[in-house]
Structure formats: C-alpha cells, structure tokens
C-alpha cells in the first residue's frame, strides 16, 4: 500500500512544468487574453511533443496508454499555468469516453488524432449550450438526455460570445445530432464523461489554488505596510495557512480519485464527487484570500493575478458545483446508512 505518485510521474510533471514555464509566461497569458477568440495556440505543440494530450489514448491507437493517475500531476500543472486550452476535455474525457463507448470507426478515426495532438475536443454535458472553446474544437462531446453524441466541427453551429475570461473562448452552440453522431446511450457512458470532467477539473483547481497561494505568499513577502512586510501580520498568515490546508486536503482527494478512476474501483464516482467538492472549496478560499491579500493592485487588469481569479471561478462552476457533488455523494453514502 503506497499513496504517492511514482518517480516517473513526478519527472513527467517536471517536464510539463518546464514547458509551461517557458512557453506560457504571464506575459504570454496576457497576450492570449487580449487576443480572445482570435488566439491560436503556441503552447499546444510543446505539450504534444511531451505526449501529454495523447497520454490516455491506448497504445494500439498510438497513444501513451496511460491512466488518469498518470495525468493527475500534469493537470495540476495545467491549472497552475492557467493553460488556455480544453485540456481536460481533450486529454481526459475524450480518450476515456471513446475507449469505452462508440464504434470502432469512431475510435479508428479519432483516437489517433487525439494521440497525435491534432484534435481539440470541447464538451457540452450540462443543460446549457454555452461551450468553452465551442467554436474552435474539432469535435464536441454532447450529452442529450441519456445519449452521448460525438459531433464533428462541421455539425457544430457556434457563435462566439464574450466571457469575463476571454481565454475560455465561450460560444453559444447548436448541434446537428443524429444517428451518425450517437456514441452511446445510457447513464453509464454519461457518467464516465462526467466523472472524468469533474475529476480533471478538480485537478486543475488544485494546481490553480496552489499557484494563487504561492503568488500571494510571494506578494506578502514583498509588500511592506506599517514599516514591515505584510506577511508578518498574523491574520494574513493564518488566512493563507487555511488555504494551504484546504488545498492539500483537496489534493489528497484528487489523487485518490485519479487512482479510483484508473482502477475502476466501485467507489470511483464517489471519489470524484469528493474531489471536485473539495477542490471547489479550496479554490474558493484561495480566490478570496489571494485578491484580499493583494489589495487594490490585484483588482487591476494590469496585474496578472486576475487570470487565475477569473479562471478559478469559472472552473468552480464547471462540471458540478460543491452543492451538486455533495448532494450526489450524500445519495450514495446515505443509501447504505439509512435504509
């Protein structure tokens, strides 16, 4: 019994961190935010060359043959870097869903493209038809009731709209759904997609919360008021300590969820509910602490902090709120306790 990632996974993480540090500086992010819908990715090819987008694609289709547990640290890095790409959708949901649902033709057509990092995927699993990267994706995975559809770009009608985080490139979408797009019917396939989305987003949020904590810590050590660095004020120290605690708690649950999904344990869905709820809470606390402890400067467009603040709030709402996940968890847990 050993609960930690292994050396190879940490090394992969370091490699991804190195690429993201080099290719996605805050200045790069700023440029992307200014470009909005017009942005075309320069960081993506670097991630492809590391094999990140195709990591979960089966080896038979040219991928890395990995499992969610291999991806978890990399997603934390992507969250930390505020990566403006639909990485969870493309590198996690899509390969998992295609591997378990759809036809051989779907697999043969798309898995190699995913393995090669040549396709970007968006998802639309809720009721709303507002889709991040909806106008940019090569395919959109769409839930319609109990059906899961794989909709190629030619059958997506997307109207770009302005969001407060322009790097999410929101689009109002309509889809031409039909027998040709149907991937699977039944709650099981939908659950695979939703679990993957919630888990992946939770991992992004843990990385993002940690980044906010680190950035804020650095600011507290630099900013002086009343003749001393403000990081020496106990109320500020304790506030950031609480964020750190929540982040590590969430990370622990996210790691477990990665394991549960990789092993398809019976409690995998439960593990995902806990991971996303805890990651939401950690990101929430980090968001509030980061802006408050930065003071006015953090509220300016000119300062970089808001990239993480805006992205964080969006991800808190994506793939299930805290309340939604806890309500679902309660249903599972309490069914065994109170019969």
Partner 1 sequence: MDLRLTPAQTDFRDEIRTWLEENVPTDSFPPPSTEEGFARHREWERALHGARFAAVHWPVEYGGRGMDPVSTAIFYDEYLRANAPARLNRLALGLAGPTLIELGDADQRSRWLPSMLTCDDIWCQGFSEPEAGSDLAGLRTRGEVSGDTVLVNGQKIWTSHSRFADWIFALVRTDPEAPKHKGLTFLMIDRHSPGVEVRPIRQMNHQADFAELFFTDVEVPVANVVGGIDNGWRVAMATLTHERSSNLNTAAHFHQILGEVLALVPESLRDDPLVRLQVARFHEEIEAYRYITLRTLSSLSVGRQPGPQSAMGKLWWSEMQTRILEFGLQMLGERAELLEPTPGEKSALVQSYWLSRASHIYAGSNEIQRNIISERVLGLPKGN
Minimal distance in Å, beta carbon 226 to a second copy? 11
> Which range in 39-47, 91-99, 145-153, 270-278 contacts partner 1 by CB under 8 A?
270-278
Do 197 and 88 form a contact (C-beta atoms < 8 A)?
A: yes
What is residue 133's DSSP assignment? Answer: T
Q: How far apart are CA 140 and CA 331, in angstroms?
A: 30
Task: Give how far Cα 259 sits from Cα of 2, 9, 272, Å.
Answer: 11, 13, 10
Minimal distance in Å, beta carbon 192 to partner 1? 21
Minimal distance in Å, beta carbon 240 to a second copy? 12
Task: Give how far Cα 148 sits from Cα of 50, 120, 179, 264, Å.
Answer: 30, 18, 11, 20
Contact with partner 1 (CB under 8 A) among 24, 82, 114, 309: 309
Contact status: 89 vs partner 1 (CB under 8 A): no
- 3-state secondary structure (DSSP) of residue 233: coil
At residue 5's C-alpha, the angle toward residues 4 and 6, to 5°, is 115
Interface of this chain with a second copy, residues 270 to 329, rule: CB under 8 A: none
35 binds, among partner 1, a second copy, none (CB under 5 to 8 A by kind): none
State which residue, 168 or 211, has the beta carbon closest to partner 1: 168
Interface of this chain with a second copy, residues 211 to 250, rule: CB under 8 A: 233-235, 237-238
Residues pairing with 171 in the sheet:
131, 160
State which residue, 108 or 164, has the beta carbon closest to partner 1: 164
What is residue 165's DSSP assignment? Answer: S
Minimal distance in Å, beta carbon 292 to partner 1? 6
Contact status: 150 vs partner 1 (CB under 8 A): no
Do 170 and 160 form a contact (C-beta atoms < 8 A)?
A: yes
Contact status: 12 vs partner 1 (CB under 8 A): no
Site map 68..87 versus a second copy, x via CB under 8 A: --------------------
- Residue 69 φ/ψ, nearest 5 degrees: -65, -25
CA-based nearest residue to 316, from 288, 265, 279, 270: 279
Contact status: 264 vs partner 1 (CB under 8 A): no
Size of the site for a second copy (CB under 8 A): 5
- 3-state secondary structure (DSSP) of residue 171: strand
302 binds, among partner 1, a second copy, none (CB under 5 to 8 A by kind): partner 1
Question: Can you give the C-alpha Rg of the chain in angstroms?
Answer: 20
Do 83 and 56 form a contact (C-beta atoms < 8 A)?
A: no
What is residue 267's DSSP assignment? Answer: T
Interface of this chain with partner 1, residues 157 to 186, rule: CB under 8 A: 161-165, 168, 170
> Which range in 76-84, 145-153, 180-188, 317-325 contacts partner 1 by CB under 8 A?
317-325
Contact with partner 1 (CB under 8 A) among 104, 226, 266, 335: 226
Do 161 and 131 form a contact (C-beta atoms < 8 A)?
A: no
- Chain-centroid distance of CA 45 in Å reads 19
Minimal distance in Å, beta carbon 76 to partner 1? 13
80 binds, among partner 1, a second copy, none (CB under 5 to 8 A by kind): none
Minimal distance in Å, beta carbon 83 to partner 1? 17
> Which range in 57-65, 92-100, 179-187, 235-243 contacts partner 1 by CB under 8 A?
235-243
Do 161 and 171 form a contact (C-beta atoms < 8 A)?
A: yes
Contact status: 198 vs partner 1 (CB under 8 A): no
Chain residues binding a second copy by CB under 8 A are 233-235, 237-238
């Amino acid at each position: 019994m050993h609960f930690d990632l292994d050396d190879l996974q940490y090394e992969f993480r370091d490699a991804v961190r190195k690429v993201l540090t080099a290719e996605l500086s805050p200045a790069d992010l700023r440029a992307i935010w200014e470009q909005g819908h017009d942005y075309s990715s320069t960081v993506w090819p670097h991630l492809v060359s590391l094999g990140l987008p195709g990591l979960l694609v089966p080896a038979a289709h040219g991928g890395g043959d990995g499992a969610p547990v291999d991806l978890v640290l990399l997603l934390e890095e992507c969250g930390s870097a505020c990566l403006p790409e639909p990485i969870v959708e493309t590198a996690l949901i899509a390969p998992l869903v295609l591997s378990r649902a759809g036809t051989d033709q779907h697999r043969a057509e798309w898995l190699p493209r995913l393995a090669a990092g040549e396709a970007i995927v968006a998802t639309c699993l809720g009721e709303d038809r507002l889709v991040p990267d909806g106008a940019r994706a090569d395919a959109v995975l769409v839930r319609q009731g109990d059906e899961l559809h794989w909709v190629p770009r030619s059958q997506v009608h997307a109207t770009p709209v302005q969001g407060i985080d322009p790097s999410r490139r929101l689009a109002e979408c309509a889809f031409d759904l039909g027998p040709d797009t149907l991937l699977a019917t039944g709650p099981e396939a939908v659950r695979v997609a939703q679990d993957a989305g919630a888990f992946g987003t939770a991992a992004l949020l843990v990385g993002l919360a940690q980044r906010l904590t680190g950035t804020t810590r650095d600011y507290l050590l630099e900013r002086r008021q009343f003749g001393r660095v403000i990081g020496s004020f106990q109320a500020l120290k304790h506030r950031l300590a609480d964020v750190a605690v929540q982040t590590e708690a969430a990370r622990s649950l996210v790691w477990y969820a990665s394991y549960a999904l990789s092993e398809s344990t019976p409690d995998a869905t439960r593990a995902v509910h806990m991971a996303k709820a805890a990651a939401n809470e950690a990101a929430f606390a980090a968001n509030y602490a980061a802006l408050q402890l930065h003071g006015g400067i953090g509220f300016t467009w000119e300062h970089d902090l808001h990239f993480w603040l805006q992205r964080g709030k969006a991800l808190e709402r994506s793939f299930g709120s805290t309340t939604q996940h806890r309500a679902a968890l309660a249903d599972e847990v309490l069914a065994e306790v109170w019969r």
